[in-house]
Structure 1
C-alpha cells in the first residue's frame, strides 16, 4: 500500500485572488463560451524559500458540473519564492454558466517540508445581457 504524503500549512505562505475578469474576446469553445481571466498572487512571508510544484482547482458550474484541473507547477513554471517575496501569475477558465472555483497550490520548502496553500473560493459571474 502506497503512503500518501502529508502536506502542511506553512505560516506566512498565502494565496490571494487579486482579480477575476470576464474577457469576451478570448477564444472559447461554443459549449463553454464565457472566458474568465483570474490573477493570483502567492506571498511568502515565511522564513524559508518555497517552490510551487503543483496545483489543483475545482470549478463548479451552476448546474452542478464539476471540472477538476490539476497538474505540475503553475502556468508552465515551478517558481521558487524567497522569504519576503511574491509570485504573481494569471490564467483562465472557460465556462457555460455561472461558476465558482477553489483550489490549492502544493509545494516544498527549502528544508524539504511539503506544504499546501489554499486558494480562496472565487466567483465567475456571467455578464448581464
Structure 2
C-alpha cells in the first residue's frame, strides 16, 4: 500500500556470521475472520568471518500473541545446506502462519566450519505484525 513504511530489518552477528531478517505480512494469504494470519520472512546470511561455514540445521521458536509456542527444528533451510566462504551470502524467503494476529520468531542456525567447529549463529528475534495487532521484541 502506498505510504506504508517498509518492514523493519532485524540483525544479529555471531562471530562474523550476520543474519538479517525482514518479515512482511501477507494480506492476500491471510484470513483474519477465520483466525489465519500469514507472514513471509526473508533471511540473508552473510559470512563476514575468515572461515568457511556450512549451515547444517535450524532451530526456530515461534510465539503468537496468545502465548502459543511452536518449536521448529530441521536440517538446513528451504531444502538446502548453504556453504558460505568468507564474504559470501545466502538469501531465502519462507513463510510463517499463525492463528493470532501477531507474534514473534527467533532462533539459531547451527553452522559448521571446515575444521569441524560448530557455532549457534543467532537469528534475531523479530516481530510478526499484522494491521490487526502489533508486538515488539524486547
Which range, TM-score by smaller chain? 0.7 to 0.9
| Separation (CA, whole Å) in 2 of partners of 1:128 and 1:24 | 11
Unaligned runs of 5+ residues in structure 1 are: 1-8
Runs (4 or more) in structure 1 with deviation over 4 Å come to: none
Kept after mapping to 2: 8 A contact 1:48/1:111: no
Q: Which residue of 1 aligns with 2:114?
A: 110
Higher helix fraction: Structure 1 or Structure 2? 2
TM-score of the two chains, using structure 1 as the length reference: 0.84
Contact 1:81 1:87 in 2 (8 A): yes
Q: Deviations over 1:53-111 (max 9, x none)?
A: 01011010111100111100001000001101111111110012110111101120011
Q: What is the CA RMSD across the aligned residues, in angstroms?
A: 2.1
Provide TM-score, normalisation by structure 2: 0.78
The SS at the match of 2:27 is: coil
For 2:83, which of 73, 80, 83 is the aligned residue?
A: 80
Q: Match for residue 38 of structure 1?
A: 41
Aligned partner of 2:71 in structure 1 is: 68
Q: Say whether 1:20 aligns with 2:17.
A: no
Larger relative contact order (Cα-Cα within 8 Å, sequence gap ≥ 6)? 1
